Structure 1
Amino acid sequence: MISRIEPDGIFGVPDLASQVSVVESGSLAFLSGQLAWGDDGEVVGEGDHRTQAEHIAHRIDRILAELGADRSHIVKETIYVVDYRPELVPVILGALHGTPPPSSTLVGVAKLAAPEFLVEVECVVSVPSA
């Protein structure tokens, strides 16, 4: 089980990210950074942050299903964004987050693994007990 905590006196935006996520039991899985790779190895959504974030969310959903989990089991995510602009926050987080949102860090970066990639997401997941 995961508890989400918004401590009094700590400013945050709880609709976008939880300030603290506590895993109370179970195992953790660490997802490598996910990029907008299609099943054929081609880049999906070249030049489009929204399309890449949506495709990455789909990839993460598939991985979570393999673990018997869903987005509510994501404890922490780190999102790397090329050409970051503040107006991209709701676009990217809207594609990635379930409710409640996990603890989250968004980092603007110069580049990722290849110039076509604009977004990369890595996650820590609390794997549900069988």
Structure 2
Amino acid sequence: MALKIVKSQPTGMNVRMSAGQPSYSHVVTISGTGKLVYIAGQLARDIDGNCVGKGDMRAQMEQTFKNLDLCLKAAGATWADVVKTNTYVTDFR
């Protein structure tokens, strides 16, 4: 069975553009006999690309998880489907 790869930009997410095309995909879904979803690294950015909660780690994490939730919903998934997450912190105080 051939694999089907779908790249998507969930509604409500900021999409950086380059030459009129998205510079990356927030969500990539691979389906065939099953379904696998990859979500790109997310930042504390709102729909306009503004940093949310500058200097406030909690606010930044909340925005990041809101973005992840939008990505999961766009892929037809929930947090119960998540197998692994990575969190990178650059200045923890």
1:81 to 61, 64, 89: 89
The alpha carbon displacement at 1:83 in A equals: 1.7
The letter for the 2-side match of 1:65 is: K
Q: Which amino acid is 2:90 matched to?
A: V
Query: Structure 2 length normalisation: TM-score?
Result: 0.60
Distance in 2, Cα, partners of 1:83 & 1:43: 15
Deviation at 1:28, TM superposition (A): 1.4
> Where in structure 1 are there 5+ consecutive unaligned residues?
1-24, 86-130
Cα displacement string for residues 21-46 of structure 1 (whole angstroms, at most 9, x for unaligned residues):
xxxx8321111110011111110010
Separation in 2, partners of 1:56, 1:74? 15
The AA in structure 1 aligned to 2:57 is: H
Segments of 4+ moved more than 3 angstroms: none
Equivalence map 1:1-130=2 (5 Å): 26-84=34-92
Give the letter aligned to residue 92 of structure 2: Y
RMSD after superposition: 1.5
- Residue type matched to 1:49 in 2? M
Q: TM-score, normalised by structure 1?
A: 0.44
Higher strand share: 1
Amino acid corresponding to residue 31 of structure 1 in structure 2: I
Cross-structure match for 1:88: none
- Identity between Structure 1 and Structure 2 (%): 41
Aligned residues: 61
